[in-house]
Every structure is written in C-alpha cells, then in structure tokens.
Amino acid sequence: MGVKNSSYVTEFILTGLSHERDIQLFLFALFLIFYLIVLPSNVLIIITIRGDAHLNSPMYFLLANLAFLDIWYSSITAPKMLVDFFAERKVISFGGCIAQLFFLHFVGAAEMFLLTVMAYDRYVAICKPLYYSVQMTRRLCNILVVASWIGGFIHSFIQVMLIIRLPFCGPNELDNYFCDITQVLRITCTDSFMEEMVMIFSSGLISVVCFVALLVSYAFLLTVLKKNVGESASKALSTCYSHITIVIFMFGPAIYIYARPFDEYAPDKVVSVFHTIIFPLLNPIIYTLRNKEITTAMKKMVLQYLLCRKYEGYECEFDIHTSTLRVIHIYMFDSKFLGLGFPFSWKQIISEEKILFSRRMNLFSSTTTQPPTADKMDFQKKNGTRINEFLLAAISPTWQSQIALFVVFLLVYTATIVGNTLIMLTVGSAPQLRTPMYFLLGNLSFLDLCYSTVTAPKMLMDFLVEKRSISFDACMAQLFFLHFVGAAEMFLLTVMAYDRYVAICKPLHYPSIMNRQLCSWLVAASWMGGLIHSTVQTILTMRLPFCGPNCVDNFFCDVPPVIKLACTNTYVIELLMVSNSGLISTSCFIILLTSYTTILVKIRSPEGRRKALSICASHLTVVTLFFGPCIFIYARPFSTFSVDKLVSLLYNIITPMLNPLIYTLRNKDVKMAMSKLRSKEIIVDSDGK
C-alpha cells in the first residue's frame, strides 16, 4: 500500500524504562527525588546570584542563565516520565511529541552554545585580565546569551521541519520514555537516510566540534594558569575545572546519542536518563561544592534570613566575612517643600553586633587537610625518605556496602571471564567464523580478559581486608599493564574499524587485502604500540620522588592519582602524559567516528546500509563505552573529581563485561556458532554416557 493510502498516526506509544511494577515505583521515587533537587537547587543558584552584589560579574550572569536552562531542560521530559510511571498505557500525541522534541533540542543546543560562551568568558578573564571589564560588558553578555538562544532555536527548527515532513503510517511505538529524533526516525514509513545524515550533521557535528573546541580552549587556559602562581591563579583553576566537568557531562552523552547512526543500542535508555535527568542535577552540585564565592553567598543569604527575622520593619545586613549583623533604620523625609519633587531618605545604623558561632552549632564549618609544604618536602628528600608502599582508597566507607559491592563485582568479573573466554572458544572452533573480523574479535576478547584481570582481583581482595595496601613495585606493575593492555585495545579497535572499511567499501578486494598475515601484523603492531605507550608512562612515573603522603585516591594504581603524590613539581610530566594518553584517546575516538560515518555515507542501497549498520553498530557501542571514560580521565589535567572512581569502575570493570554481551546479543553468526558448539557438547556428553 502506498503512503497516500496509509493512515497517519495521531499518537505515539512510549515503552518507558521498565514494565515491572515494583521497578517502576522505585524509579518513580528515585527520579522524583532527582527532579525535586534539580528545581530548587538551580533556583537557589539564580536567587543567590541575583541577590548578592559580589556575584555581579559576567561569569555568574552566564552561570545563572545556565541554571535557568537546566531547569527548563529537565522539565521537558521529567514530569511526563513521572506521570507515565502510573499509567497503564504511556501515550503522547503527535503534536505533543513534536513539541517535546522541539523544546528538547532548542534548550539543549542553547545550553551547548552557552557553555561555549562561558569558555570565551574564562579566556578573556584569564588571558586578558586588564581588558576583561571593557570587553565582557553586560551588553555583550546579553547579546551572547540571546545568540545562544537563537542558535538553539534555529537548530531545533531544522530538526523539527525535517521530522514533520516525513510520513508516519505505523508502527507508532517509541522505544524510550520521551520523544527524540533517534526514535522517531526509526518508525517513519519511508527511507529516511538523507534526513538521518542531515540530523547527524546538525546535532552530532555540532556536539563533537563544540566539545573538541572547548577541550582545546580549556587546555590552553590551564597551560597558561599552570605557569602562574598565587591565589588568583588557583581560583581561576578551580573555576576552569568546574566548567570542564560540566562540559564533559553535557557533551559526552550528546555525542554518543547524536554523532552516530540512529540505530538502537542497549545502553541508549541509560544514556538518555543521564543527559535528561542526571546532568541538570550535576550543574548545581559542581558549582556550589567547588565554588567558594557561590557557597559563601549562599551561607550569607541563609544566615541573613535566619538572623534578621526578628528585626521586621528594619533593613538588616549580615557581613559573613566579619560575622557582623547590622540593623539599619531608613528615615523618610517629605522634601516637596524644598522643591525637589521626590521623597528624600537617609539610613542610620541603630544596631551592630558580632555574631559568634560555636564549632558544634556552626553547620557551615569545614575541615581541610593542608598539603605538605615545600620545606617539608625538601627535608624529606634530603633525608632520603622514600615510601615503599601505597594505601588504596575504599570505594565505600561502610563494611556492609563493601560486602555488597564484593558480591556484585565478583559476579561482573566472573561474567567477564566466562563471556570473553566463550567468545575466544567459539571463534577458534567455528569454521564459519575464521574471518579477519572474528579473528580480531577473538583478540579483543583476550585483551578484555587481561584488562579486567589487571585491577579486579586486587579490588575484590581489598573489599575483605582492613588495610588496602600495595607495594611500590606492584603499583608500578599494575600501572604498566593497565596502560599496556588499554592502549593495545585502543589500537586494536582502530584496526577493527579499518577491517570494516575494507569489507564494506572494497568487498571484492577484501580477501586479498585483509589476509591472515596482515591481520597478525596489525594485532602485533597494536600490542607493540601499547608496550611503547605504557613504557613511556611507567618510566616517567618511576623517576619521580615519592616521600609522602602515600594514599592513592582510587582503588587501583593509575597515573593521575599516583602523580599527585610526588614530592616535586610534576607540571611538565603531567603535560607529557596528557598529550600521550589523552591525545591518543581523543584522536583515535574522532578517527573511529569519522571512519564509521564515512562507511555509512558511501553505501547507497538500503539493504547494504542496513547490513553495514548492523555490523558497525556493535563496534561503535564498544568504541563509545571504552573511549568515553578514557577521554574523561586522561584528556584533562590530573585534578580530582567526585565521579573519578565511578568512571574508573566503568572502564576497568564494566566495559570488559559488555564486550561479549554486545557481540553475542547483536551478532547472529556468533550466536549460531555458540548454539552449534553447545549442541556438540550435548552430543559428546550423551555418547560418553
């Protein structure tokens, strides 16, 4: 039946996050808490910035606009999702779906452009401090904010116009809890390849280009700041780290969703929850916990409210720096008889008192541990003091949670070992899988098995002991093998992308180009590249003096937490390691995304494109899950963030388990070979009996 005679859909059915009633109730309570934190916390940021004269600067003006965008961004999807948890049939009208899609991309793109504006603001403030007040005027800030909104509107308008002109005649089920272009395009009843390419170019390319430009700009700023010393430089560094964290959490999920073919992947819903629900929650947390001026202004606002309630009818001011409360009476005088034509007033301080807070009652006091001074370090180095072991941090502080985590990660590690071993056995024993792609897949499974084994056994053992220590030599060995296997896996994933390029774009020459000898050489080159990379990292780390402290802020030894413990200035070495690890991760990731996009663009036939998407989808999922956390850890200055341990768990423990799941659940050849292998074992067992 042609499209003309087809009945157009008037509503879409949303699948939601879960069909289990108990899980829905749990998710409702969880996301309701998240949403109730997002709204008041971002509102509090806006009120604090608007109400404190010390925050009347371009940076905080832009931050208030970012908080407003976060409120709007989370409100586009969260209320509908929360209501749908109690609905038997989760539906949304065609018009409501298009409206949700429009505002999602409108506000999301505006936030991306605003983050770019904030990076420019930091550039002017740090690199041109004398001209900052002249260049970043309130008028320019208003223009830049309006330009961000206009850019978001244009981007979203293009997306919606491309969607509206497509025919939707069934099916009408969207595999998510909200409407987005990736799900809507899948159910159109026409070939939407060109629209998909335009949308990838619009959404994906904007995300990737802005992300890379922001990382480069902040890397340049951090390089400038590292050369300076003093309180102002430290303050600017703290501000830049906050901005970089926001940028990574905003752009990472966006790049994963929009900078790839709009095919369906298992982690899609989890990533969608992260960038629509979790991300708006992180903005107030990061900016309030890492920014002293914001926290000071909030303390002042709360204390002033509590202390000034009893002085109704008077103007009340609280100076948090001097802990002084001033009560001011405003005298009004009718000055019309003087010919002024307006009331005249003056202020008089009628009370001024010092507010003293005891340590028990002061809820806002905090304790900080001061790092060792340079004199102390020099004394330690002169006396030849060198640590011979490191103390590893715990993932959780309580014994009960450690036992629970031990069980969870033991299951994950067991699944990793069994799953990757099963893939190697299947690839090695099945004749139909003796092709270059599956040869590389077998090597990837072996690397995943080694990669998880570098950290998981030690981590599992540390869950059951009180003192989590590791010798200096064992720490260096763990660091070496972690980067050895990790870098080899990065290079191998690049080789697998080349294999797919030859197989899809040059199918007639594939057997002659990708022969077993070349595959063996490419695998050996991947291992050699990992060895060279890891040797450089390890040598640079071992030549540093370690004289105390010896507490590694992670559950395993890695370059960023270990380097922080060195008793010398590690700025140059840190730059070398960021350029080594970070540049390799980022460059390989961009090359892989570009190569897979090139493959999909070159294929014209719908059947060939569908087959290529099926093959490349698994590779892209593995690439994103592996490179995303690595870029976050290694392509930035080695400063500590609260999510570092969580990200480390993802790429050390979780990702090696996902490789067999993704390749076995999405690959028919592997599943068929596994079923044949199992049937052979059953026959052998029955013959033996």
pLDDT score recorded for residue 568: 81
Overall domain count for the chain: 2
Q: What is the pTM assigned to this prediction?
A: 0.51
pLDDT score recorded for residue 146: 93
pLDDT score recorded for residue 25: 80
Q: Which of 169-173, 216-220, 491-495 has the lowest mean pLDDT?
A: 216-220
pLDDT score recorded for residue 323: 61
Q: Which residue has the higher pLDDT, 383 or 571?
A: 571
Same domain, 265 and 179: yes
DSSP states of 349-391: EEEEEE----TTT-TT----PPPPPHHHHHHHHHTT----EEE
Same domain, 322 and 406: no
Cα–Cα nearest to 555, from 426, 458, 629: 458
**112 Cβ contact list (under 8 Å, min separation 6):** 152, 206, 207, 210, 250, 251, 254
Same domain, 23 and 149: yes
Residue 265 falls inside a structural domain: yes
Same domain, 495 and 570: yes
Kindly state the average pLDDT of the residues 240-260. Answer: 76
What do you get for the CA distance between the two ends of the chain, in Å?
A: 58
Query: Which ranges constitute the DSSP H helices of 506-547?
Result: 510-513, 516-542
Same domain, 89 and 231: yes
Identity of the highest mean pLDDT range in 189-198, 333-342, 394-403, 667-676: 189-198
pLDDT digits (tens, 9 = 90+) for 23-32: 788 888 888 8
pLDDT digits (tens, 9 = 90+) for 293-316: 777 777 777 766 666 655 655 566
* Confidence bin at 481 (pLDDT 50/70/90): very high
Residue 163 falls inside a structural domain: yes
3-state secondary structure (DSSP) of residue 132? helix
pLDDT score recorded for residue 321: 58
Query: In the predicted model, is pLDDT for residue 106 greater than 90?
Result: yes
* Confidence bin at 322 (pLDDT 50/70/90): low
Last residue of a domain, one of 320, 335, 350: 335
Same domain, 88 and 174: yes
User: In percent, how much of the chain has pLDDT > 90?
Assistant: 8
Q: How far is CA 284 from the centre of its chain?
A: 16
Residue 499 falls inside a structural domain: yes
Q: Which two tokens stand for residue 428?
A: 């090695």
Q: Which residue has the higher pLDDT, 35 or 601?
A: 35
Q: Which residue has the higher pLDDT, 396 or 680?
A: 396
User: In percent, how much of the chain has pLDDT > 70?
Assistant: 79
Strands 173-174 and 11-14: parallel
Instruction: In whole angstroms, give the CA distance from residue 662 to residue 684.
Output: 29
pLDDT score recorded for residue 150: 93
Count each helix (H run) and each strand (E run) in the chain, helices first: 25, 9
Same domain, 465 and 327: no
pLDDT score recorded for residue 379: 39
Q: Which two tokens stand for residue 581?
A: 């690890």
What mean pLDDT is reported for the chain? 77
Residue 347 falls inside a structural domain: no
Identity of the highest mean pLDDT range in 504-513, 529-538, 599-608: 529-538
**403 Cβ contact list (under 8 Å, min separation 6):** 463
Residue 282 falls inside a structural domain: yes
pLDDT digits (tens, 9 = 90+) for 359-409: 333 333 333 334 344 444 443 444 444 678 888 887 777 777 788 888 888
Same domain, 315 and 425: no
* Confidence bin at 289 (pLDDT 50/70/90): low
Helix (H) or strand (E) holding 606: helix 606-634
Same domain, 296 and 402: no
Burial status of residue 508 (CB atoms within 10 A of its CB: 0-12, 13-18, 19 or more): exposed
Burial status of residue 310 (CB atoms within 10 A of its CB: 0-12, 13-18, 19 or more): exposed
pLDDT score recorded for residue 107: 92
Same domain, 593 and 677: yes
pLDDT digits (tens, 9 = 90+) for 437-470: 888 888 988 999 999 999 889 888 888 887 888 8
pLDDT digits (tens, 9 = 90+) for 38-47: 888 888 888 8
Range of the domain at 588: 398-687
Instruction: In whole angstroms, give the CA distance from residue 594 to residue 18.
Output: 34
pLDDT score recorded for residue 363: 35
Residue 370 falls inside a structural domain: no
Instruction: In whole angstroms, give the CA distance from residue 631 to residue 587.
Output: 10
Helix (H) or strand (E) holding 346: strand 344-354
Q: Which two tokens stand for residue 655?
A: 């990702």
Kindly state the average pLDDT of the residues 136-144. Answer: 90
Residue with tokens 């609280």: 318
Residue 313 falls inside a structural domain: yes
Kindly state the average pLDDT of the residues 62-70. Answer: 89
Residue 346 falls inside a structural domain: no
Instruction: In whole angstroms, give the CA distance from residue 599 to residue 606.
Output: 14
Backbone angles phi, psi at 593, to 5 degrees: -60, -40
pLDDT digits (tens, 9 = 90+) for 149-202: 999 999 999 889 988 888 888 788 888 888 988 888 888 888 888 888 888 877
Last residue of a domain, one of 335, 366, 385: 335
Same domain, 502 and 585: yes
Cα–Cα nearest to 392, from 447, 461, 298: 461
Last residue of a domain, one of 335, 363, 384: 335
Same domain, 404 and 322: no
* Confidence bin at 148 (pLDDT 50/70/90): very high
Cis before residue 171, ω within 30 degrees of 0?
yes
pLDDT score recorded for residue 367: 33
Kindly state the average pLDDT of the residues 76-81. Answer: 89
Query: Which ranges constitute the DSSP H helices of 228-362?
Result: 231-258, 268-273, 279-290, 292-308
Q: Which residue has the higher pLDDT, 609 or 394?
A: 394
Which contacts (CB < 8 Å, 24+ apart) does range 454-457 have? 454/478, 454/481, 454/482, 454/485, 454/556, 454/652, 455/482, 455/555, 455/556, 455/652, 455/653, 456/409, 456/413, 456/416, 456/652, 456/653, 457/413
Query: In the predicted model, is pLDDT for residue 261 greater than 90?
Result: no
Kindly state the average pLDDT of the residues 485-513. Answer: 87
Query: In the predicted model, is pLDDT for residue 356 greater than 50?
Result: no
The CATH number assigned to the domain holding 245 equals 1.20.1070.10
* Confidence bin at 680 (pLDDT 50/70/90): low
Query: Which ranges constitute the DSSP H helices of 259-291?
Result: 268-273, 279-290
Kindly state the average pLDDT of the residues 76-89. Answer: 86
Helix (H) or strand (E) holding 447: helix 436-462
